[in-house]
């Protein structure tokens, strides 16, 4: 063949590493995407992966057989290095972008073996609390009458959250309310990594059934002395996070990126026969 042609300047290793930066990959996927060996038998794919990556110090093979970049190589912090800010909020309702507001907030820090409540406060929402909400949380208008408005605690909260990994049970809810509150009071938007203990539990647990906080508390034998109050729920969510981190490590997770990949992967479901499927 004569004439112009284009070839990649990247070596096979370079191309494999580029693929692994997106998260752990099975040997068969590497063969298909990097080498173009579609449908290679598993044994062949594994031998090829070992030949290409086995001696590379930037890569490791996980217990489940997938290949992954080391934290140092991809710039992701190791799990032990991460400081997790576990958040729980109580609110007047569900509409973060509407007229609902925060009535209580608590933050529990999890860092290595350390777990402690680093912030908790009632918050004056500037509006009445619906009676149905008060029945669930126990927080009444009288209780928040002399509490600080969110604006008064915003700077302290920002300082606590800065540089830490945002974690909550149903993180979308708590993130949404905090983001809306910071936008209103400081003109600032939340940004950065976040983990959801609901999503992690759904992907790491096989026999827990519901991933609601009450059921997971029972599943792990945890105690919550103040259900539907921010400090109680934040502390039990922090204990739940510790259990989930242990399970994630058992599946080979070593970095924040690994945890993010776990919560993004498809949930395994049981088929009619009872076998686990994707």
Span 40-59, average pLDDT: 78
Question: Would you say residue 111 has pLDDT above 80?
Answer: yes
Lowest mean pLDDT among 7-21, 46-60, 186-200, 238-252: 7-21
The SS3 call for residue 217 is helix
User: Angle of helix 42-53 relative to helix 12-20, nearest 10 degrees?
Assistant: 100
Please, what sign has the CA dihedral across residues 260, 266, 270, 273?
Answer: negative
pLDDT in tens, 24-33: 788 888 888 7
pLDDT in tens, 199-244: 999 999 987 778 999 889 988 999 888 888 999 999 999 999 999 9
pLDDT of residue 66: 82
pLDDT of residue 38: 79
Rounded distance between C-alpha atoms, residue 42 and residue 24, angstroms: 17
Where do the domains of the chain lie, and which CATH numbers do they carry?
12-75 (1.10.10), 79-264 (3.30.420.10)
Q: Where are the alpha helices (DSSP H) in 128-274?
A: 131-137, 141-144, 150-161, 171-186, 197-204, 213-219, 230-250, 256-264
Q: How far is CA 114 from the centre of its chain?
A: 19
The residue among 178, 160, 158, 179 whose CA lies nearest residue 118 is: 160
Rounded distance between C-alpha atoms, residue 8 and residue 4, angstroms: 14
The answer to whether the beta carbons of residues 105 and 125 sit under 8 Å apart is: no
Span 96-101, average pLDDT: 95
In this structure, the number of other CB atoms found within 10 A of the CB of residue 107 comes to 25
Span 10-31, average pLDDT: 76
pTM of the shown model: 0.71
Q: How confident is the model at residue 95 (pLDDT cuts 50, 70, 90)?
A: very high
pLDDT in tens, 240-276: 999 999 999 999 898 898 899 999 876 555 444 444 4
The residue among 74, 65, 62, 66 whose CA lies nearest residue 25 is: 66
């Amino acid at each position: 063949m004569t004439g112009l042609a284009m070839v990649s300047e990247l070596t096979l290793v370079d191309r494999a590493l580029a693929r692994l930066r997106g998260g752990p990959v099975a040997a068969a996927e590497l063969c298909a995407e990097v080498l173009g060996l579609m449908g290679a038998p598993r044994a062949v794919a594994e031998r090829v992966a070992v030949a290409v990556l086995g001696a590379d110090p930037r890569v490791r093979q996980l217990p489940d057989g997938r290949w992954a970049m080391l934290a140092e190589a991809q710039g992701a912090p190791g799990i032990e290095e991460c400081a997790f800010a576990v958040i729980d909020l109580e609110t007047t309702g569900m509409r973060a972008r509407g007229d609902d507001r925060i009535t209580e907030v608590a933050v529990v820090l999890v860092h290595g073996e350390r777990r402690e409540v680093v912030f908790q406060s009632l918050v004056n929402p500037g509006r009445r609390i619906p009676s149905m909400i008060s029945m669930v949380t126990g927080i009444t208008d009288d209780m928040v009458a002399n509490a600080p408005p969110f604006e008064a605690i915003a700077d302290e909260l920002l300082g606590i959250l800065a540089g830490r990994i945002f974690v909550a049970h149903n993180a979308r809810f708590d993130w949404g309310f905090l983001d809306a509150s910071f936008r209103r009071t400081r003109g600032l938007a939340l940004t950065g990594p976040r983990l959801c203990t609901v999503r992690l539990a759904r992907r790491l647990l096989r026999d827990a059934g519901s991933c609601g906080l009450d059921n997971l508390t029972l599943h792990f034998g945890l105690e919550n002395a103040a259900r539907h109050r921010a400090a109680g729920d934040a502390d039990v969510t922090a204990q739940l996070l510790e259990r989930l981190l242990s399970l994630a490590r058992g599946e080979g997770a070593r970095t924040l990126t690994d945890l993010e990949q776990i919560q993004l992967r498809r949930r395994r479901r049981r088929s009619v026969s009872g076998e686990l499927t994707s």
